[in-house]
Amino acid sequence: MNKQVKVLVVEDDPNICELVTLYGEKNGYIVNVAQNGMTGLEMFYDTTPDLVVLDIMLPEMDGWEVCKEIRRFQKTPIIILTGKGESYDKLKGFELGTDDYIVKPFDPNELMARIKAVLRRVNPILVENELIELPLLKIDMNQYKVICDTQEIVVAPREMELLYFLASHPNQVYTRQQLLDQIWGLDFDGDPRTVDVHVKRIREKLGDSDRCWRVQTIRGVGYKFEVDNE
């Protein structure tokens, strides 16, 4: 990536600040932290971050007000990270122009994936070269290409995103709901079996030859991208 991504975390819990900073820096981001809303807004204008992770319940100025102030003049992506998980709060967040909404407690790896997904959507130039290469499989998110057994195969955008997400977390199991939240977004209100349909299509397009990788069904749970150990 030509430019190191700057992430501003506005959160009053020091343990969460430390956790997000740790994972953010591991992913190559510059992370700045503010522990109240007023300081967060000041740091937003001082540091010009590429993305903001914003709590709602903050001292001095709550997250809603911080979001409103940012949205008055800037389109910088905002991910709400909060303990307020009611549908009303999520709707309010999206109405204010937030880009994603994550409820605590949260998986820091999921937060990092959400950050990358938002950056890819709003400013792809900020996202690292996203390429997964395995024997007889190449998934290139930058060019939206999948090459299997030396042949390029045609996959729909959701299939591409689902395959890439699973393959970028090898041997990790995800429920249908987790995959819906990650790929389709929190505002998706369709049938969770949508995931099953997309997995079936991916399998049909990749074929069923004996390989060291496969999209595996975990009965009663969900799916994982299984990669054999060398």
- CATH at 187: 1.10.10.10
Last residue in a domain, options 96, 126, 156: 126
Q: Determine the angle formed by the axes of helices 14-26 and 108-122, rounding to 10 degrees.
A: 60
The pLDDT value given to residue 104: 92
Residues 122 and 10 occupy one common structural domain: yes
Residues 17 and 120 occupy one common structural domain: yes
Is 1 inside a domain boundary? no
CA distance 42 to 142: 34
What is the pTM for the complete model shown? 0.61
Confidence band of 76 (pLDDT split at 50, 70, 90)? very high
Residues 28 and 98 occupy one common structural domain: yes
| Mean pLDDT estimate for the chain | 89
Is 198 inside a domain boundary? yes
Domain count, the chain: 2
Instruction: Read off the pLDDT of each residue in 188-210 and give the average, rounded to a whole number.
Output: 86
Host domain of residue 22: 6-126
Residue 114 neighbours by CB under 8 Å, 6+ apart: 79, 100, 102, 182
Extract the tokens encoding 200: 């079936």
* HSE-up (13 A, CA, CB side) for residue 108: 13
Confidence band of 2 (pLDDT split at 50, 70, 90)? very low
Residue 207 neighbours by CB under 8 Å, 6+ apart: 148, 149
Q: How many residues does the chain have?
A: 230
Closest CA relative to residue 11, chosen from 110, 81, 115, 98: 81
Residues 44 and 102 occupy one common structural domain: yes
Residues 181 and 95 occupy one common structural domain: no
- CATH at 59: 3.40.50.2300
Extract the tokens encoding 224: 């994982």
Residues 104 and 148 occupy one common structural domain: no
* HSE-up (13 A, CA, CB side) for residue 15: 3
Tell me the pLDDT tens digit for each residue of 111-138. Answer: 988 898 888 777 766 666 678 899 999 9
